[in-house]
């Protein structure tokens, strides 16, 4: 079995950050979002993953992911020339699959307990399709499975107005090689009204052709950091769940640590209070500041005379003498924020990369 992870998409709900940044490469829990699906698939024992990318994105995606060896994996990069839907991602990966079964894990989904229960079911029961499902109170904005009286999947409907239950389909799919038959022949799947090949169409084709398609509930929590508020919530959850104190830089006695804190290499931190859970990357400078809780600071940032909590700093952000407390904020890479003497106490920021703000 192989893996397939898409890294394309427009990321419209995360604008302005995604005007120039790929959503899958934005850090959450202080590591790029795309790392989570890679790690999840690696834990199932799969060794080969196809990474799909959009035109012009290959070098950037490779910069973050490399050849897969850091996870003990082998990556093959596959061009999706146009954004024609999730089923098209499966379609363009046919040569890579070479007749193998596979799992498609959307690149912007996080399954905190992994998907080993689904992988085990798929390997043992050998259905032609397997759909991961979760309980979700807002399943009208997602795909929804419909079952017959025996609990078997009979159809998969995108964003139904009146679903019969609270199950939803979040974005983890298993297929046998039978799935590739849906792209050819007189009954090949067709683009939807929005002009895309929908992932639901593959499953419906399998069902209509009397193939076995199972559903299985996902263990643990599903995180979908697709909007700014969801990103911050996911960041808080992951910091709380995954932060175990690890300090790789030398700190002096002017630094006060409270709670669980990760500090990377070559950091210079003085006269500051750090309240966990916090995750600080490499080459970070913090002076005369209060940081945390629930804050992630990526590599190469500088925070001087500032207070920061419940926020995400991306690469190479500078906060210089910001008198207002910064809360519930995502600050894009290479951004500089400094402050004059005329200010109030509090502010919230959503700042894209290469910005400069003086307050």
* Cα–Cα distance measured from residue 261 to residue 249, given in angstroms and rounded to the nearest whole number: 12
284 versus 346: the higher-pLDDT residue is 284
CA angle 69, 67, 14 (to 5 degrees): 110
Amino acid 166: pLDDT: 87
- Of the chain, the end-to-end C-alpha distance in Å amounts to 54
The string of pLDDT tens digits covering residues 121-146 is 999 999 999 999 999 888 888 888 99
pLDDT band at 341 (very low <50, low <70, confident <90, very high): low
| Structural fold of domain 2-230 | Spore Coat Polysaccharide Biosynthesis Protein SpsA; Chain A (3.90.550)
pTM: 0.88
pLDDT band at 335 (very low <50, low <70, confident <90, very high): confident
170 versus 21: the higher-pLDDT residue is 170
Is the pLDDT assigned to residue 118 strictly greater than 70? yes
* Cα–Cα distance measured from residue 233 to residue 114, given in angstroms and rounded to the nearest whole number: 19
Tell which residue, 288, 277, 349, has the closest CA to residue 313.
Answer: 349
Q: Name the pairing type of β-strands 31-32 and 102-105.
A: unpaired
Mean pLDDT (the chain) is: 89
Average pLDDT over residues 62-90: 94
Tell which residue, 39, 172, 34, 35, has the closest CA to residue 107.
Answer: 34
Domain extents in the chain: 2-230, 243-358
The string of pLDDT tens digits covering residues 232-289 is 999 999 999 999 999 999 999 999 999 999 999 999 999 999 999 999 999 999 999 9
pLDDT band at 11 (very low <50, low <70, confident <90, very high): very low
* Cα–Cα distance measured from residue 240 to residue 172, given in angstroms and rounded to the nearest whole number: 24
Amino acid 102: pLDDT: 98
The string of pLDDT tens digits covering residues 181-207 is 999 989 999 998 888 999 999 999 999
Tell which residue, 85, 140, 65, 113, has the closest CA to residue 223.
Answer: 113
**Cα 243 off chain centre by:** 18
CATH code that applies to domain 243-358: 2.160.10.10
For the chain, percent of residues with pLDDT exceeding 90: 65
């Amino acid at each position: 079995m192989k893996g397939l992870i898409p890294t394309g998409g427009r990321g419209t709900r995360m604008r302005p950050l995604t005007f120039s940044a790929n959503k899958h490469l934005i850090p959450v829990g202080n590591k790029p979002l795309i790392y989570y699906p890679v790690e999840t698939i690696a834990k199932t024992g799969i060794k080969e993953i196809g990474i799909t990318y959009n035109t012009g994105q290959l070098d950037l995606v490779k910069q973050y992911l490399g050849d897969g060896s850091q996870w003990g994996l082998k990556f093959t990069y596959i061009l999706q020339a146009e954004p024609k839907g999730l089923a098209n991602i499966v379609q363009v990966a046919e040569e890579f699959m070479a007749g193998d079964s596979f799992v498609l894990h959307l690149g912007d989904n996080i399954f905190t307990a992994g998907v080993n229960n689904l992988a085990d079911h798929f390997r043992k029961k050998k259905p032609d399709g397997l759909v991961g499902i979760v309980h979700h109170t807002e399943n009208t904005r997602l795909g929804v499975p419909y079952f017959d009286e025996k609990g078997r999947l009979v159809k998969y409907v995108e964003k139904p107005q009146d679903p019969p239950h609270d199950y939803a389909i979040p974005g983890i799919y298993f297929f046998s090689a039978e799935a590739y038959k849906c792209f050819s022949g007189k009954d090949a799947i067709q683009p939807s009204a929005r002009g895309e090949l929908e992932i639901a169409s593959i499953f419906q084709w399998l069902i209509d052709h009397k193939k076995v398609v199972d559903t299985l509930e996902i263990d643990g929590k599903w995180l979908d950091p697709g909007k700014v508020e969801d990103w911050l919530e996911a960041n808080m959850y992951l910091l709380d769940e995954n932060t175990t104190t690890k300090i790789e830089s030398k700190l002096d006695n002017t630094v006060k640590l409270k709670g669980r804190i990760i500090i990377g290499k070559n950091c210079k931190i003085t006269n500051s209070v750090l309240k966990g859970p916090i995750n600080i990357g490499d080459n970070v400078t913090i002076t005369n500041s209060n940081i945390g809780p629930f804050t992630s600071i990526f590599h190469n940032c500088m925070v001087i005379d500032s207070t920061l909590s419940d926020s995400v700093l991306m690469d190479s952000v500078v906060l210089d003498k910001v008198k207002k407390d910064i809360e519930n904020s995502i600050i894009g890479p290479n951004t500089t924020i400094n402050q004059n003497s005329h200010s109030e106490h509090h502010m919230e920021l959503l700042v894209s990369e290469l910005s400069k703000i003086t307050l």
